[in-house]
Structure 1
Amino acid sequence: MHRTFASLTILLALAACDGKAPAPEPTAAATIGASPAVPAPPPASPRPSAAVKVNEKNDLYEFSYAYPAQAAAIPALKARLDADMAQQKADIAQEAREGKKDAKENDYPFNPYFHSTEWKVVTDLPGWLSLSTLVGFYTGGAHPNYAFDALVWDKAANKRVEPLALFTSKAALAQAITRPFCAALAKERLKKRGEVWQGDGISDFEQCIDPLAQVVILGSAGRQGFDRIGFLIAPYNAGPYAEGSYEVTLPVTPAVLAAVKPQYRAAFAGS
């Protein structure tokens, strides 16, 4: 018995010298009363971007500018549109101040000016966002007027690309689309003027117009790639103001696809 006690004493002394005594087992009270570990909450999902819409009205002018959530979600595009909005607002304010001053100096009534831009999605593809807008404006005169604009955003390159820049040349694209464009425009004119309308074929509003002098937009019906090419035609370009604007849409045919630059063909359906 004395030997056992001596051996135990030696072992305890060695453990104390080593400094590595085993940790005590937790008691039942400690384990029962402990709270289980709470897992960290998952990271919050980014909030979807909201569409932007600004309206302002005063004695000088009425101004509105809007663009969709898909554009607001791209920081570089949002910055570009915000800068354009600020510039358009500054321009209409300056023009209205000058117009009111001129009206007072020449003793005629001043009618408030206005500017309206509303960008809308033509198509949203994985690598591309295509937008178009109708820009309405009044800066004095008999009636307001409006025009079109379009924008194609290359998401991979994070930059704006002019629609016509996707093609090898204007001449190549014109060769592919002029004949079907003119036929489609003639049909649209008949819809506005009536099936019994007969012209002399000489007036500027009866002849075909240059499709590539219009605003060109790229769209997609199948959502797999650009498969439509559209032309937005402002008043006076294809007919009198009373007829309003025209719009022609053509499919992307093999002839059109052949005019696309090689580096952009993957963006088009059927490539």
Structure 2
Amino acid sequence: MRIGNLTGAAALLGPALGAMFLLAACGQNADPAADETGTAIAEVETVGDAPVLASDLIIAEQTPTLEFRWRLVPEAAEYPTLFARLRAAALRDKAALETTARETAQARTEAGLEAIPVAHDQMFETVFENRALLNIRTEIFSDTGGAHPNHTLESIIWDRRDDRQVSLPDLFVNWPEVRDALSAAYCAKLDDMRAERRGGAALDGEFGTCPDLAAQHIALRGPRGMAPEGITVLFSPYAAGPYAEGAYEVEVDFDDAVRAALKARFQG
């Protein structure tokens, strides 16, 4: 998979962030502050004592050997720990891929092959939020020149009050009972999805079992500002089936018993 050029970066970020990106890049007349060179600066949020600029939410590089894009939602900048963690991880990924890109380019040159850039494209979206929780989801597309590109799904549920990441069990007062109820529903749906993709054929081994719910990436579902009404269990390729089956996203609604077990402060 070859990631295209970065011309449409602002549009990919959504209207609000896209506008701020353009201000930071082009200096539109919106009476922003300016740096020493006169370039307009668009402040998004504040992390500690330092302003977070729209440009801080984007890491992008395009060279003959590497195409790297990372785009974070501005909501994450409200939380210094979350913002710093995600940006630091992106910079580590970029540094590692720069090494991979150099090695790949050298190997292809020595083999007399055309240079193909290593690609990494990661974007975030806010999928759920209320007064207590912020849930952002990320999709990562990468191609390092192997047999096929990779596609990874991840989710972060952030406790706004305690400024820390939480897991699905943290949200409920009686997790063992909730786990059993949600697992039964989620495993049945996963089996149905697998059967459809496999034409009714069954697979033995790890691709025939139902993975532990608590160990998966979970995205919350529900109207903004209200209590969560369900979950989406996210499986990257290879997590619930062979690569050819692709990613799985299994949606499960909360029943009355599960809703009642949700801790009061996470109700919204």
Deviation at residue 102 of structure 1 after TM alignment? 3.7
Conserved 8 A contact 1:122-1:219:
yes
Question: What is the aligned length?
Answer: 218
Closer, same or farther in 2 for the Cα pair 1:268/1:227, shift >3 Å? farther
Conserved 8 A contact 1:199-1:206:
no
Look up the match of 1:21. none
CA distance in 2, matches of 1:108, 1:211: 44
- Unmatched 5+ stretches in structure 1: 1-45
Look up the match of 2:93. 88
Look up the match of 1:116. 121
Look up the match of 2:250. 248
Write out aligned runs for 1:1-271 (5 A). Answer: 49=45, 52-104=57-109, 110-166=115-171, 173-193=178-198, 197-200=199-202, 202=204, 204-221=206-223, 223-256=225-258, 264-268=263-267
Conserved 8 A contact 2:132-2:265:
no
1:196-231: CA deviation from partner (whole Å, max 9, x where unpaired): x33246465454343334312223236312222221
- Unmatched 5+ stretches in structure 2: 1-41, 46-53
Amino acid at match of 1:59: P
More strand by share: 2
1:94-119: CA deviation from partner (whole Å, max 9, x where unpaired): 22123233444566555311112111
Closer, same or farther in 2 for the Cα pair 1:90/1:165, shift >3 Å? farther
Runs of 4+ in structure 1 over 6 Å off = none
Closer, same or farther in 2 for the Cα pair 1:92/1:177, shift >3 Å? same
SS of corresponding position for 2:135: strand
- Normalising by structure 1, report the TM-score: 0.67
Amino acid at match of 2:116: N
**Greater length-normalized contact order (CA 8 Å, ≥ 6 residues apart):** 2
Amino acid at match of 1:119: F
RMSD, aligned α-carbons: 3.1
CA distance in 2, matches of 1:119, 1:169: 31
1:108-160: CA deviation from partner (whole Å, max 9, x where unpaired): 55531111211110112112210011111112212111112111222212233
Closer, same or farther in 2 for the Cα pair 1:251/1:222, shift >3 Å? farther
Amino acid at match of 1:185: L
1:160-218: CA deviation from partner (whole Å, max 9, x where unpaired): 3344444579755532322111111133335545xxx3324646545434333431222
- Normalising by structure 2, report the TM-score: 0.68
Identical amino acids, percent of aligned pairs: 30
Amino acid at match of 1:198: G
Look up the match of 1:15. none
Which structure: larger Rg? 1
CA distance in 1, matches of 2:171, 2:182: 15
